[in-house]
Structure formats: C-alpha cells, structure tokens
Amino acid sequence: MTRPNGLPAIAAVLTCALVLVGCSGTAAEPKTDGPVTLTVATFGEFGYEKLFKEYEKAHPGTTVVSRVADFETHHKQLATSLGAGRGAADVVAIEEQYMPQFRQSKDKFADLGQFGAKDLRPRWRPWKWEQGAVGDFVMGLGTDMGSLAMCYRRDLYEKAGLPTERDAVAALWPTWEQFAQVADRFASKVTDAKFADSAGTIYTAIINQSEENYFAKANDSFVGDTNPAIHSAFTLAGGIGAKGETARVTPFTQPWTVAIKQSRFATITCPAWMLTQIQEAGGPELAGKWDVTSIPGKGGNWGGSYLTIPAQGTHQKQAYDLASWLTAPEQQKRIFLDSGLLPSALDAYQDGAVLSHTNAYFSGAPVGKLFAASAEALRPNYRGLRDAHVRPTFGHGLGRVEEGKQSIDQAWDQSVTEARAAASN
C-alpha cells in the first residue's frame, strides 16, 4: 500500500464536504433478505483478493466487489460521498492520518459497537483500538500497521567500507545523531550514489518516534513551533540534506522509483508495507542486494489503516461481518505472509509464523521478527485534526534545504510560519 505524507488538498475537500452537508446523517435500515453485494474500497492493494473469494464461498449469496484507487483519490472520494450522502462503498479503508478528521463526523459512519465490535477490543494494542474509536463509538477496525525498520543496500555499504551484516549495521546507529555520522562516512567513500533517498523520509521516521508532533495531545493546540522533537528532527534531517547526502527524491514518485532502479541511494527508512514498493521498483536484478535492519531509536510507525462502514450503506451488518473477518488475526497473518503487510492484531504479529518469516528479496532478512520488535517498542504519536494540513509544510522546507535554496534556519522559519497559518485555517 502506498501511504504518502499529508495531502492538504484532500483534507480541504474532506472538511468542505462534511461541513457543508452538516452532521445530520442517519444510518440506513439494514437489508437482510436475498443476495447481497458488498463493495470494499481501499487505496492500493490490501491483499484481500484471495480472501474475498474465500469469504464468498463460505457465505453463499454474498458477492464482494473490490474498489481500488490511489491514496489521494480514495480519501477525496470518501469525503465527497459522505458529504453527498451517497456513493460510498459498504466497507471503506481510512489511513491513520485521516482518522482524526473523519472521527469529527462519526455520525456519517455506523457505530460498530452495535454489531458487537467492543468484544473485539482485546485483538489490538490499546493505542490501535483508540485511534479507531471516539469514546464508546467504534468507528473502525484496525488492519495493518507500519512499524519502522531501515532498508539498506549491502553492496553499496560494502563499497563505502561499512559493515554489511544487519546486526553490525544496526550497531552503527543506536541514535539518529550516529545515523548522520554514518551518512558522512558513506559520502566520503561513494560518489556515484547518495546515502539516503530524502531528508523528508528521515525526518518523518524521527518524528514518528515522538508521542506528540505538531499538536498537543491534551487539547489539540498547535505546538509544532515549540516542540523540541520537531525542531531537532528538522535540523538533523536538514543537515544530511544540506550536505548533498540525499538523492532528493520523494517516496512513491516516479523519480523515486527510477532512483531505486538505478541504485542512486543506499538507505531508506521503511515501514513493513514499503518492502513491496522497493521490490517492485528495483526488479529482479536487485534481489539480494537490499537488506533490512533496525532503525535508530526505539520503534516508530508510519501508516496503518482501519476498515469503516459508512452509515449510508444498506447492508451494514453484513459489511461488519466481512470487516471483522478481514481484520481477524488469522486473516491478518495470512496477508502478511502473502503480501508483507504487518498485522496490527496482537495474536497475528506475535504468531510464530509471522515472527519466523523472512524475505528472500531482502537477503533473507527476518522481517517478521524485525517489524514485530519495532511494533512492540513504538510509542504511538498523536495526530491532530489539522495534521494533514500542517505536515507538508515541513517536508517542503526540507526540500528547499536539499535544493540549496535556503539554509536550515531559513527553511525552519518559513515552515513554521506556513504551519501556523495552516493550523488556524
């Protein structure tokens, strides 16, 4: 699944659509007689195709239709459909960064508690459950999560005179400051490849290890300008970019894909779901050249989704049955083993088959063990209601640093000014 950083255009559409229509949506009367067609809308592939066929076989009369769009289009369409009161799928995935905004219009969604969802709470760690709920109102069931690791090119590290075995590589950077020192060492030896893909990717990983980013957990006030974790992450990532040690490519763009294919960078902070993106970009010729190891600091998370049921649907109970089955530990485990999406259900990501799973493309890395360990160590960070508006301003600032257009201080000052405006609009 592709999970770009915050997209203010989507957030604006979402806000307008829901505010203009108001908060008067009511749940449609469920229909239970006759054949049922359930539409499931996701962004990117969630690994559901085989499961849909299995579910149909076990539930005669039920047909499951997949609706897949890119990240931006998917969330924009959902906001529009909720505002119009029609057009939404029966089951809709929402990425974690948009849950705070959609939770503000919870009456546009079915309360899954009425179908027994509260009994499923022990499936997930408390933070994952709470992101999908509004008090006692259960809005979504957790699918995957994006606990962080570090992907690196063994051959390019060897060229730089650095260790290549994953434990030795992890020992190079117990802290992000030491990670920056490794970037310097790499740059002093290798001239035809950069150390990392972008300053923005490094920055995102660092701030995702903090409990608070741009907004205070207590009252949702903007603190991005005073939070030392944000400033230190911006300075460190910006320093790597300012030295020309990044390839200056944004994840999931065409230049990023080409840069992977052409071996133009050696390191990237990678959540579990990104491994597929890297493999598809690199192709078979790079198999065995990539590896995975632990990230500096402790844990961290980038991405993860929830299955929700819009209140406008006419088959809410059947949709809930499907959503609860798809997010059950057994199905989450199978999705990980087939597609690499890390389960968020405790019994799934702690399962022996998951923990022992390796990835041949990434030099046989014990990805199940690595990502599960990262999940255990992570501290969930609070996402404010305006997070998707504010977050891009700092990424753009780091881009200006990488391009040599501004110093780190200048970029910081402009990013803060823009972020304050975005937080208050």
The C-alpha atoms of residue 168 and residue 294 are separated, in whole angstroms, by 10
Per the document, the length of the chain is 425
* Residue 328 burial class via C-beta count within 10 angstroms: exposed 0-12, middle 13-18, buried 19 and up: middle
The C-alpha atoms of residue 289 and residue 165 are separated, in whole angstroms, by 12
DSSP letters spanning 168-208: HHHHH-SSHHHHHHHHHHHHHH-SSSEEES-HHHHHHHHHT
CATH 3.40.190.10 correct for 147-301+380-424: yes
- What ranges do the domains of the chain cover? 8-145+302-356, 147-301+380-424
CATH class in words for 8-145+302-356: alpha beta
Q: Yes or no: say if 260 and 201 are a contact pair by the CB < 8 Å rule.
A: no
Neighbouring residues of 419: CB distance < 8 A, sequence distance ≥ 6: 214, 222, 224, 225, 390, 393, 394
Strand (E) or helix (H) holding 302: strand 301-308
The reported pLDDT for the residue numbered 3 is 53
Instruction: List average pLDDT for each run of 10 residues in the chain, which is 425 residues long.
Output: 46 48 41 82 92 97 96 93 97 92 93 97 93 95 94 98 98 98 98 98 94 92 96 98 97 95 98 94 97 91 93 97 98 94 93 96 97 84 87 96 98 98 92
The reported pLDDT for the residue numbered 33 is 60
The reported pLDDT for the residue numbered 45 is 83
The reported pLDDT for the residue numbered 27 is 41
Neighbouring residues of 219: CB distance < 8 A, sequence distance ≥ 6: none
Fold match, 8-145+302-356 / 147-301+380-424: yes
The reported pLDDT for the residue numbered 227 is 96
The C-alpha atoms of residue 120 and residue 300 are separated, in whole angstroms, by 25
Strand (E) or helix (H) holding 395: helix 387-402
Q: Kindly state the tokens that stand for 317.
A: 């109970």
